[in-house]
Amino acid sequence: MDVIENLRALEDLDNETAVIIIQLALDDLNQLFQEDQGTAQQITNSEARRALERRGDELQRLLRRRGGAPLATAGRSGSASTLPAQEPVQPQAEQDESNQTVVSERNSTSTYRIPGAWPSDEGSSQLQSQVREILRAVPQLMCHICMDEFDLTDGLTLSCGHHCCRDCLNEIYRGATADESRYPPRCCASQSIPLEQSRPLLEAQVFREFVDKQGEWETRNRVYCSNRNCGAFIRPVNIRGRDARCTSCRTRTCAECKKATHAASVPCATDEELRGALNVLERNRWRRCKGCRNGIERTYGCNHMV
């Protein structure tokens, strides 16, 4: 007798092969409801029915992630089904069902092997045995950061192929918020984690703080409030010419010299020093960085400046 398995081997398969396997699993699930009328009529237990439907939903999500077209699954409204009408569910069971089925979609390469329809002569006992297998089957992935296992709906499979659980993902975003050297959030050195992919798993406060800091980290020539008791980042939208207005303490700062604002007709206190520094740059054939405006010298490579 087949049992449900977590097919971790799908991680090493190409999309076309993985889609075929997932579609076959969905076909088996449909066959379970449709092939034998007598057996299907025995699936009246609401918990078992919901478990089977959840497995179908998970397979459909995996199929969409792999680029396959969703298939109609028996047992759902709007699709062919041999199941009888479901008995009314008690309020508490209804609430449990809602909590279990409303889950965020995740990138994952795990799936199930759903057994086909059971021979009718084996009767209800084998059906209940298979349903128990379904209820016990919880897909697990191992987080490559903390090495703990997590449900496929409680983490991400990143573009680099590594798995990341919810807790570690939130820690990555906290680090990227507090330390610019850890921005953007990433698993591998060259693989950043898209915010839209992470959003469903991030805590509300972690998400808000990261989005607020993201604007600062992505601004090249930053201006901070000249008030030493404040020092808040002034967003470009609040800068008009040389006048930068702090939204936290209302202090006005000169966007050029980064000190307290002054009349446009009055040169910045650093203008003379700047002119002297520019003369030094010119004599040595150095250039100014287009981002931070500091003087730079080419030590190797081409003349292309980035």
Paired strand residues for 243 = 240, 254
Question: Averaging pLDDT over each range in 5-9, 115-119, 171-175, which range is the top one?
Answer: 171-175
91-101 vs 46-65: helix crossing angle, rounded to 10 = 20
**Percent share of the chain, pLDDT over 90:** 24
Helices (DSSP H) in the chain: which residue ranges?
15-34, 37-40, 46-65, 91-101, 123-136, 166-178, 195-198, 204-217, 271-283
pLDDT at position 225: 93
146-164: pLDDT as tens digits: 999 887 778 888 888 889 9
pTM equals 0.48
- Residue whose C-alpha is closest to residue 234's, from 224, 220, 248: 224
pLDDT, greater one: 137 or 19: 19
**What CATH number has the domain spanning 149-217?**
3.30.40.10
The two tokens of residue 190 are 């060259």
Please state the domain extents for the chain: 8-85+99-138, 149-217, 223-269, 277-306
Ramachandran region, residue 126 (left: φ > 0; alpha: ψ -120 to 50; beta: rest): alpha
Residue 71 pLDDT > 60? no
250-283: pLDDT as tens digits: 999 998 888 888 877 777 766 666 677 778 888 8
**If residue 196 lies in a helix (H) or strand (E), which one and from where to where?**
helix 195-198
